[in-house]
Amino acid sequence: MGAKMFGARVSRLEDPKLLTGRGGYTDDMHLPEMLEAAFVRSPHSHARIKDINISDALKHKGVCKIYTASDLPDYLRNTTVPFQVPNPAISQPFQQRLLEDREVCFAGEPIALVVADTRYNAEDAATLVQVDYDILPGAADCKSALEDSAPLCHVDSPNNEGAKYKVGYGDVASAFANAHLTHSEEFWIHRGGGFAIENRGVVAQYDELDDVVTIWSATQSPFLVKQNVVDMLGWESDRVRVIAPDVGGGFGPKTIYYVEEALIPLVAKDLGKPVKWIEDRRENFLATNMERDQYWDMEIAVDADGKLLGVRGQMIHDTGAYMPWGIISPYISATTLPGPYVLPSYELETFVALTNKVAVTPVRGAGRPQAVFAMERLMDRAADKLGLDRAEIRRRNLIQTEQMPYALGLIFRDGKPMTYDSGDYPKCQEEALRLGDYEGFRHRQEQARAEGRHIGIGIANYVEGTGLGPFEGATVRIQPSGQICIYTGGGDSGQGHWTTLAQVCADKFGVGVEKIDVQKGDTGKIASGVGTFASRIAVNAGSSVHLASNEVRQKAIKVAAHMLEAAEEDMDIENGSVVVRGSDLSVSLSDVARAVQGMPGFSLPGGVEPGLEATHYFSPSQSSYCNGTAVVEVEVDPDTGHVDILNYSMAHDSGTLINPFVVDGQVQGAVAQGVGNALLEWMVYDDNSNPVSTTFAEYLLPSAPETPNVDVTHVESPTPINPLGVKGAGEGGTIPAAAAIISAIEDALSPWNVRIAAAPLTPSMIVNQVRAEKAVA
């Protein structure tokens, strides 16, 4: 019997292929006779289209066909993206049409699709399509957009309020009436996009013989793509196959379904030739969903000991021009705010504003970093006003282990009451403080200040609902060759599913992970699936692999018992063979698999069903709640506004770890995105809602010198919600990062009494604050 695979730091099976250039990403597809597509997109944030003229473009070399809304089949002219996740709070669920020919509502909205022999020629022709626009004012800033005088995002709508809802519990009014201390403040938090290094892309091919359209898409969720193609185009489900090949990063935006994913298969079928569309970086800035602004106008009430009494306020969320994912992001924001604290009363009213920008849908963290930023700023303010240490006020309010499971009093996005299933919040905070040497910091700070250096420390906690339903299934099959295969629906965009799912399975058959093949992200390989988002694959697919592997194992033992004429209870599986304990009798899994294929004319051994395989669709009863604490030390140059992250410590509890090596990488990568959100990443729009930061020279991603090493420690509180005890791990690093980094910057600048209520924080904002405070002093 080999080393135990589950829980081991196994290096990834995915890597050799990717390290030698043998990966297969969407743009790597080269099919015979393949055509290439380019889009004509609105250059204006808001305009009425008066006329579209494609006659010059059609004459361009290599052009095969150009599609506008009027070239689509009648039944598709007004079809919109299906409304994925309705909610009664949504009053104006605008959805995008396949191609727009009346009113464009964001810069980047597709108007025409050019198909040509090469992308170069397609782009040439796209520039020759003449669109006559009547330019309209755009609803830009989401706060102003809700004012009566604001330009309308959609001309025929009464106002720009897309949704409105209230969450809360407890008696907020009396909490504030009886408070020892209250503090109110407005926060602006901007989150940017996913900006995977691989852009989106779609290749589609119609096979006339089988009457099947195969779609390769750089998506996190091939089953969602398939469902939407079927819904929008009215095609039969078994005539569509969607494959997510190697995907070069996802981070949320590739979860969501886009019009391009319906248009490309539509034209491939129409033209009878494969068609490829690869999003370029400019399109990515314009037309791939992102997160953006939230304004939080908040108030906190505490007693004399710093114990929380209540939090109340209002939040405004920028949702863009369309709502393909409903109000998932702002709803998660609203329900994340209480975090790991005993918060007796809470009330938040949220206004979702329609703006003339690309849609907002979840990006890694999905609305949580904003809520954590607001809550943790409030905690810092209360601490400062009471003269309490910032870590101490948090310690006093943390939910204790004996309070688990802890019912919060809110309903989560999964429709279930929010009940924290497990977790040791005090220990997590303690571990992070230890890792960041919080105790020794004030001494370090004194020394630094004596040298004229300004260092500061910050802390932030969070709780995150992970592992959301409905399900993600897995088939485990042992081939007659003995090869063990796992099939699952979610795509992999860097998470290492092959390795981790193999680790869940390997021990059941006493083999190493290298003996297991994992095929993911292909609707042709398993009947149902959902997708890779919301930190859900380890929980859902992992549990399904576990259950299916157990069933296959039991079946193998049952059949082997019959073959070897031994008792099942005496049998075990070692090194890929079923053995009778204490004897040298054994039969290989390959022989068992052959046996259950059957022999013509004979019964199956042991009366079992054919095939050595099992499929499970694990569906969790509710989310499992992951949590963590970040402690960050920074140095700030008050003259230039430069921030250097000196130390980054993170205690992270995602339950049982399948592969600590992989989880560490998830946390480190997630933190880097949080660093971007704290200091660099800002999607800028002008006053008329036209995007300004549309290159990587303007929208700044963290590069290696700006990104800290992250010291990660794991607190493992297994969840009772699934058989593995695992929780999601993909987003936790991002969630408290901006809150902790900005807390540390404030601390570094405490001689100037600087208070920061915004993220991202640019160097000029820092210098501005330092100079303003200097002037006051």
Nearest C-alpha neighbor of 241 from the set 213, 208, 200: 213
CB of 719 to another protein, least distance (A): 24
- What are the angstrom distances between the C-alpha of 236 and each of 8, 213, 228, 232? 44, 10, 11, 11
Determine if 199 is a binding residue for another protein (CB under 8 A). yes
Query: Residues 261-280 vs another protein: string with x where CB under 8 A?
Result: -------------------x
CB of 502 to another protein, least distance (A): 15
* Beta bridge partners of residue 184, listed in sequence order: 299
* Position among 44, 46, 97, 119 found at the interface with another protein (CB under 8 A): 119
Q: Are 741 and 458 in contact (CB under 8 A)?
A: yes
CB of 264 to another protein, least distance (A): 18
Residues 745-774 that bind another protein (CB under 8 A): 762-764, 767-768, 771
**Rounded distance, CA 341 to CA 337, Å?**
9
| Joined tokens for residue 92 | 């104006």
* Beta bridge partners of residue 316, listed in sequence order: 295, 351
> If you search the block for the tokens 């996913």, which residue do you land on?
194
Binding residues for another protein, total number by CB under 8 A: 79
Determine if 196 is a binding residue for another protein (CB under 8 A). yes
* Position among 100, 101, 141, 246 found at the interface with another protein (CB under 8 A): 246
CB of 680 to another protein, least distance (A): 7
**Rounded distance, CA 423 to CA 385, Å?**
30
CB of 433 to another protein, least distance (A): 21
Q: Which is nearer to another protein, 134 or 639 (CB)?
A: 639
What is the dihedral sign for C-alpha 535, 541, 542, 547? positive
Q: Are 628 and 376 in contact (CB under 8 A)?
A: no
CB of 27 to another protein, least distance (A): 7
* Beta bridge partners of residue 66, listed in sequence order: 114
Q: Which is nearer to another protein, 335 or 629 (CB)?
A: 629
* Position among 78, 127, 403, 528 found at the interface with another protein (CB under 8 A): 127
Residues 679-698 that bind another protein (CB under 8 A): 680, 684, 692, 695-698
Determine if 664 is a binding residue for another protein (CB under 8 A). yes
Q: Which is nearer to another protein, 757 or 765 (CB)?
A: 765
Determine if 177 is a binding residue for another protein (CB under 8 A). no
CB of 51 to another protein, least distance (A): 23
CB within 8 A of 88, min separation 6: which ones? none
Angle at 473 between CA 468 and CA 474, to 5 degrees: 140
Residue 305 Cα to chain centre, angstroms: 38
User: SS3 of 285, please?
Assistant: helix
What is the dihedral sign for C-alpha 656, 660, 662, 667? positive
- Strands of 293-302's sheet in order across: 161-169, 346-354, 308-320, 293-302, 181-190, 758-759
Q: Which is nearer to another protein, 149 or 695 (CB)?
A: 695
* Position among 281, 396, 427, 444 found at the interface with another protein (CB under 8 A): 281
DSSP structure class, residue 609: P
The total of other beta-carbon atoms located within 10 Å of residue 613's CB is 19
Q: Looking at 309-317, 487-495, 502-510, 536-544, which segment touches another protein (CB under 8 A)? A: 487-495
* Beta bridge partners of residue 163, listed in sequence order: 90, 352
Q: Which is nearer to another protein, 449 or 562 (CB)?
A: 449
CB of 456 to another protein, least distance (A): 19
Nearest C-alpha neighbor of 316 from the set 329, 337, 330, 336: 330
**Rounded distance, CA 411 to CA 419, Å?**
9
CB of 514 to another protein, least distance (A): 13
Q: Looking at 247-255, 467-475, 517-525, 543-551, which segment touches another protein (CB under 8 A)? A: 247-255
Q: Which is nearer to another protein, 608 or 700 (CB)?
A: 700
**Rounded distance, CA 646 to CA 648, Å?**
7
Q: Looking at 84-92, 192-200, 377-385, 553-561, which segment touches another protein (CB under 8 A)? A: 192-200
CB of 197 to another protein, least distance (A): 4
CB of 30 to another protein, least distance (A): 6
Q: Which is nearer to another protein, 281 or 395 (CB)?
A: 281
Residues 730-749 that bind another protein (CB under 8 A): 733
CB of 585 to another protein, least distance (A): 37
Q: Looking at 149-157, 191-199, 583-591, 739-747, which segment touches another protein (CB under 8 A)? A: 191-199
Q: Are 78 and 92 in contact (CB under 8 A)?
A: no
Determine if 535 is a binding residue for another protein (CB under 8 A). no
Residues 626-655 that bind another protein (CB under 8 A): 639-640, 642
Residues 353-392 that bind another protein (CB under 8 A): none
Q: Looking at 43-51, 79-87, 242-250, 719-727, which segment touches another protein (CB under 8 A)? A: 242-250
Residues 9-68 that bind another protein (CB under 8 A): 11-12, 14-16, 18-25, 27-28, 30, 61
Residue type, 702: P
Q: Which is nearer to another protein, 28 or 270 (CB)?
A: 28
Q: Are 388 and 306 in contact (CB under 8 A)?
A: yes
Q: Which is nearer to another protein, 90 or 737 (CB)?
A: 737
Residues 295-314 that bind another protein (CB under 8 A): none
Angle at 662 between CA 714 and CA 628, to 5 degrees: 30
Q: Which is nearer to another protein, 575 or 713 (CB)?
A: 713
Length of the chain: 777
**Rounded distance, CA 436 to CA 430, Å?**
10
Nearest C-alpha neighbor of 655 from the set 420, 389, 357: 420
Q: Which is nearer to another protein, 244 or 343 (CB)?
A: 244
Q: Are 360 and 149 in contact (CB under 8 A)?
A: no
| Joined tokens for residue 203 | 């290749």
CB of 371 to another protein, least distance (A): 23
| Joined tokens for residue 253 | 């935006």
* Position among 39, 67, 106, 195 found at the interface with another protein (CB under 8 A): 195
Q: Which is nearer to another protein, 230 or 244 (CB)?
A: 244
CB of 661 to another protein, least distance (A): 6
Query: Residues 699-718 vs another protein: string with x where CB under 8 A?
Result: -xxxxxxxx-xx--------
Residues 451-480 that bind another protein (CB under 8 A): 452
Q: Looking at 297-305, 459-467, 585-593, 667-675, which segment touches another protein (CB under 8 A)? A: 667-675
Q: Which is nearer to another protein, 416 or 449 (CB)?
A: 449
**512-535 burial: b if 16+ Cβ within 10 Å, else e:** ebebbebebbbbbbbeebbbbbbb
Nearest C-alpha neighbor of 644 from the set 512, 534, 744: 744
Residue 52 Cα to chain centre, angstroms: 37
CB of 19 to another protein, least distance (A): 4
Determine if 449 is a binding residue for another protein (CB under 8 A). no
Q: Which is nearer to another protein, 119 or 312 (CB)?
A: 119
Residue type, 448: A
Residue type, 620: P
* Position among 168, 531, 665, 725 found at the interface with another protein (CB under 8 A): 665
Secondary structure E strands in 654-745: 710-714
Determine if 188 is a binding residue for another protein (CB under 8 A). no
| Joined tokens for residue 335 | 């329900």
Query: Residues 489-508 vs another protein: string with x where CB under 8 A?
Result: ----xxxx------------
**Rounded distance, CA 618 to CA 172, Å?**
39
